[in-house]
A and B are shown apart, each in its own frame.
Chain A
Amino acid sequence: MTRRFTWLETLRLAVLAAAFVFVLFPIVWVALASFKTPEQMSEPFLFAFAPSLANWQAVFASGVFAAAGRSALVGVITVAISLVVGSMGAYVIAKYRAGGSLTRFGMLAAQVVPPAVMVFPFLTMAQALRMTDTLAPVIFAHLSFVLPLVTWFLIGFFEAVPASLEEQARVDGFTRWQAFRLVVLPQVYPGIGAAGIFGFTLSWNDLFYGLILAPGNAAILPVAIANFNTFRGVQIGTMSAAIMIAIIPVVIASFFIQRRLVQGISGGAVKY
């Protein structure tokens, strides 16, 4: 049986297609640019050309990979701390209403404050501790937005765990901490995994804090990418190759967590 599209479905598909092109076009353009020579770069709408690996070779030689390694390190440490602290925080907020609704919703206030307001206290502290241009202040700065989001993200997952599971474990002879670790936590592993990837992506994508707190030898990947904007002009080809290196992990991560992402961001408000 053939299925006929109604005008509404046609419209919906058209909007989706437009959105798809709108989102994907810059990525495709950057991917193509990473294989163009400087001469070909002057033709933005050139889509068929002999690809050159010159940009990629330049990127390999430029230290972008070292910066990517530093970004990964910052992301992993930030996420590890956020998951340990955030899971415990989310648990007591979900189960014991700790801090009341002010804490629950107030923790998102950090997202409203512009990073520009936050960065100078971080910079002042880093200077006082003689830690400028190291990864430590970047990690602290990233924690300021990753930790609240990871916590918020996990609340809904903990709320979905029946209280009787923890109570059963306590009656079965375990302490509250053991009940949390051995029984409650395993129920939210999917959420923890998604929160971890989500938090890592946020940290990985940050340019602002990295640019101010560690602009030099300890530059993280987005800073390294920005450095292709030199006094001689923007080196679009090499920058594009570096951008591709930054994009690929995020795209892969997003693919794996897309469903959990909706569930976490809605704080468990949406039935799933």
Chain B
Amino acid sequence: MASVTFSKVGKAFGSTSVVSDLDLELTDGSMTVLVGPSGCGKTTSLRMLAGLEQVSAGTIHIGDRDVTALEPKDRDIAMVFQNYALYPHLTVRENIAFPLRAKKTARAEALRRADEIAESLGLGALVERKPKDLSGGQQQRVAIGRAIIREPAVFLFDEPLSNLDAKLRVETRTELLRLQRQLGITSLYVTHDQEEAMTLSDRIVVMREGRIAQAGPPGEVYRRPADTFVATFVGSPKMNLVDGTVTGGELRTESGVRISVGGPQASSVTIGVRADDLILTPDADGAAVVELVELLGPRAIITVRSADQQLTSVVEAAALTEITVGATVGLSARDVHRFDAATGRRLDA
């Protein structure tokens, strides 16, 4: 077990910079999740830590070892790929035991440990099977088994749940978190799914265009997004953003949107309101009209239109008697985030 430190790490493919000035520390035993849209450099960062991509600038340390120039095999890491990368010619047992072959562990001992791990992952009955005879979820567990048998210093996960169906994804997520906590191995996890990132991480790192947009505990990133990009990327449904002027506790836009927001006067401001914080009040003189109601069970996502702006709100299902498609509603915000309209940066950072 060890901490991981990226210092001023950069990566360019030819003249295209993919990651630049990446400074990141993964504390010992923590689960850090890199999240961001495609092409933001998260997978490249993970692959640089794995040694599968060479860095163009900076250094990477695992513990106090500088691993920047080391081969993957010398970094003491284990990785779970998106497609699991199980060895097709080997059985489940041999797949799990395979990394021990590199450590020159005696075959009988390696297979015995593989059986133990297979058993603990619920794969006990499948050890003789080949990967092609397994379901996606089972293949995933074999890949995890193969990662943990090495007892590595660092675990790397490259979107390991994205090939699973929704139900299995949530189950496996919980299982993965339990396993990581139990083993206490420093982990770096890459995903484009912000919900996965929020639920799994001790620390979430939101990346954009090869740089860190914000890093911190998931709660903090959710509550105090550093800019409009993070604000809209983290949280579902995504945060409502409205550009306008605040006067008399009300946000107004030129096109006629009006939301009661409270707080000090401000001009040229971007106001962010999470869907949970946007309160709809049935009001015949209200500024918005309900366009769409999506029932989720106990709650519903409401899409309203006010002038040229589409906004979303989450309401209790009980409120749906009054909030129906076509109803006119007034808008007020329980909690607002203020961003600079020009730069998108948080104003009270």
List residues of chain A with CB under 8 Å of any chain B CB: 162, 164-165, 167-175, 178, 182-183, 186-187
Contacts and interface: CB of A to CB of B under 8 A. Distances in A.
Contacts, number: 58
B73 A187 contact: no
Given A168-B81, A171-B72, 11 more contacts: A162-B85, A167-B85, A168-B79, A170-B52, A170-B72, A170-B73, A172-B78, A173-B73, A173-B150, A178-B102, A182-B101
Given A165-B87, A183-B87, A172 B98 contact: yes
Contacts of A170: 51-52, 71-73
Contact of A171 (B50, B88, B89, B101): B50
Contacts of B99: 172-173
A187 B78 contact: no
Contacts of A172: 73, 78, 98-99, 102, 146, 150
B85 A168 contact: yes
Contact of B81 (A164, A174, A187): A164
A165 B85 contact: yes
9 contacts: A164-B81, A164-B82, A167-B72, A167-B81, A168-B81, A172-B78, A173-B73, A174-B73, A182-B101
B83 interface: yes
Contacts of A175: 71, 73
Contacts of B77: 171
Interface residues of B, number: 24
B102 A173 contact: yes
Given A164-B85, A165-B85, A183-B87, A171 B52 contact: yes
B103 interface: yes
B87 A167 contact: no
A197 to B, nearest CB: 21
Contacts of A162: 83, 85
Contacts of A171: 50-52, 72-73, 77-79, 156
* Most chain B CB within a 10 A radius of its CB, from A168, A169, A186, A187: A168
Interface of B: 50-52, 71-73, 77-79, 81-83, 85, 87-89, 98-99, 101-103, 146, 150, 156
A172 B97 CA distance: 10
A9 to B, nearest CB: 36
Most B CB within 10 A of own CB, among A167, A171, A174, A183: A171
Contacts of B81: 164, 167-168
A97 B101 CA distance: 30
A168 B81 CA distance: 8
A165 B87 CA distance: 7
A96 B65 CA distance: 30
Contacts of B73: 170-175
A182 B180 CA distance: 29
Nearest to A174: B102
A187 B52 contact: no
Contacts of A165: 85, 87-88
B102 A187 contact: no
B124 to A, nearest CB: 22
A187 B51 CA distance: 24
B51 to A, nearest CB: 8
B260 to A, nearest CB: 53
Contacts of B87: 165, 168-169, 183, 186
A232 B73 CA distance: 70
A187 B88 contact: yes
A174 B73 CA distance: 6
B4 to A, nearest CB: 15
A182 B95 CA distance: 12
Q: Which 10 A-B pairs have the closest CB atoms?
A: A173-B102, A168-B85, A164-B85, A172-B99, A170-B72, A186-B89, A171-B79, A173-B73, A164-B81, A171-B72
B92 to A, nearest CB: 15
